Chain A
Amino acid sequence: MLLKIAWRNIWRKRTRSLIIIFAVTLGIWAGLFICSFMDGFINEMMEESINHTFSHIQIHNPAFKGNNEIQYTIQQPQKVLAAVESNPNVKAATLRNVAFGMAASPTTASGTKIVGINPVEENKVTDFKIFIKQGTYFEGNSKNGVLVGQKLVEKLHIKMHSKIVLTFAGADGNIVSGAFRVIGIYKTSNAQSDLANVFINANDFNAMLGNDTTFHEIAMVLKDADQVDTVNAAFKKQFPTLKVESWKELSPETVTLNDYVAFILWILMGVFMLGLGFAIVNTMLMAVMERTRELGMLMAIGLNKSRTFGMIMLETITLTFVGCPFGIGLSYLTVSYFGKHGISLAMFAKGMENFGMSAIDYPFLKDNVYWQIAIMVFCTALLAAIYPSIRAIRLKPAEAIRKI
């Protein structure tokens, strides 16, 4: 019966209740949409870091990580690779060569990271191929082909099929260099990455070194991204002499940014909830004031304080929860739509690419965020209902009944 009274009381002041329901809906939608908007950026950054650069976990010679010198290779890389691939959590793994050197065109040069990849295996680990805007990924047996980022192309004043010379220090300290032809130009949403990395076939890399078994890096992707920490810990134990790092360790700035944005979003949601809370308190206080006589009568005939308190709480929560599904539903539809079609931020594209962000944001929200918000709204309603409920139970029936 108290629920029935609460429900019907909501519709006594239809306009006022509808305003609160609308405020709840709008508050939840705005909060969730901003969360999804920011999460979309962060998610894109993380996805890009994982899918184009770091993969989920990488393995190196510990010394290589210290000073990036080419002689610090992984010992028996094929054996380590086989062990990695035998782990049931690993979806795919690949070997890479890595050297830090120079890329020179006839007119200028730029410092670059030269990555030697096994094109077929790499394609299973990263989705780098989809970012090639001109030319092709390594196809056939083309020797000495290089994939260059759009930014580097502009810096070196080169184009498709141009020749560049890649130079780096060999294991013995001597300069090793080779001429490569641009077979593809790629463009990711991370302009800095496009400037800093060139990709060549691992066979060509090893040919330059005169050793076809040299590898510096094993990169792997997992079947379930959420298992990163577990698998990372397992490999650390399995390969104690090697440096095993998850993408979180390889790119701590991404993790920090993610945590920071999450923190900011929670603060933002807190501000939304505070606003919502005040709106609820205001509405319910008005309701209590308007119904002073009715509440006095109820207390006179035998509605005890706990029931009076519960009735006002129930009414507040019911009022709030009428708006909650609308807000969550609207958010879900909006996030789903823009998550699929994206929101173009082309006007900020240049600046955003420098931060490794895409100019198209695909809003994204984990399912649990919807529940978390619903719980936050519930808690807000609960807290906001306390004061009006206390005001209600403090009424003196004899005085309240006579209130005009």
Chain B
Amino acid sequence: MKNYKNINIRFILLLSLGIAIISGCERDFSDEVQFATFNNNGDIFTDAPVGLTDEFFDSFDPAGPNPANPEGFGTDDNVAFMGTSSIRIDVPAPDDPDGAFIGGIFLDRGDGRNLTGFDALTFFARGSTTATIGEVGFGTDFEENKFAVIAQNIRLSTDWRKIIIPIPDPSKLIQERGMFFFSAGSQSTGGFGYTFWIDELRFEKLGNIAQPSPAIFLGQDISNEVVNGMEFMITGLTQTFNLASGINQTVIAAPGYFDFSSSDNSVAIANESGEVIVVGAGSSSITAQLANVGAAGSLEVTSDGVLPTTPPPARLDANVSSIFSDAYTNAVESNFEPPFGGSVTNLQRLQENGDEVLVYTNNNFTGIVFNNTLDGTDRTTLNIDVYPLDASSVEVQIRDVGANQVLETNVITGLPDGDDADRRLLINGLTPGQWTSVEIPLDGDLAAQKNNLGALILAGGPNFIFDNIYFFTE
């Protein structure tokens, strides 16, 4: 009985507290205050666009390095799943002069829509052939893309088929302008163009989308050695729902849907953009939730604390041609983030005690491409100070680009092509947690050809720090 009474008293206390707070709210927000509520119409295209911008279709950049083809978009009054008209998309062949792929977004013409009452974007699709659409989604607005969602590899049938793209967490979408997103090329059709139609495009409340299983890092538990000041993104963000068909539909979800947390904020901070910033020595586990469901996957960061200073470079200026070092004037400027297709490398320039270093994370391959070639005839060796962040190895390829001054690489073998030559060294076995000066002699194929040194190619790792990159004469 005593317990019972206590509970009652506590309950009354809680209740009165609640009343106080509630009445406080009533005072603050009087009748004169009106909260903005946005259009909650889910329709996007039925027989015509519904509430979209006058442009209707906003293409990806037709003039960029990978130009989108804006010509293949339209509506078709001869084909419809329901009613009289559908959206028709003609996917170009890779050699189409107007661009090799088609893609873009549909934007709400107003301030955005309230989609909290829906659980999926749905539409009917039909292809001229059984192709696969690369990406389809919503939430991309060409601004913040804060709640972007992408479903990949949507399989077309030559008959109409309903496509369901679940919303990772509808409660986030109180004002969304990005109504639809797609990107399609001819990868799945062996380079032949094809047509697909979309009809009855809308947000819907299906009620049978369930069993959410969100993930970060694609559900993997990974661990990384880091140093203070490092910043990197939490990647591999997905949400998976079980549909009524029994299919588990996974979508790529923007960081905005997740709540990230760090088990020790004195070691690392995880912010709402999905960025991790290392602030102190020790270990911290980075995890996430999506709509209060714990995400599979985690990142354990172990910080060595402040990055130690590099071994002081002691060679005479006259004997050095520097690429990257605070100790020497650069002999040539370089592009540290060359647009190598397929590269997923992250590079962070980290300042510590007035010294700038190059922090590479998630490296598959990247390069340091010199703006002008360097005549290395008088140089004998390349120095790189390396601070490994994991036990794996990184390969450095010193490239002479030859008289034509063009970096030429065989895309199949990765070996130098044309008049190029290189010298490669796999850097491994270094002691973690300390700097090691690695010296690579300019021998092998470079012994006879080093007057047009043009690039350093960095392969593998994936996590390491470089400093004091310079050629010198022994």
Please say whether chains A and B are actual partners in one complex.
no
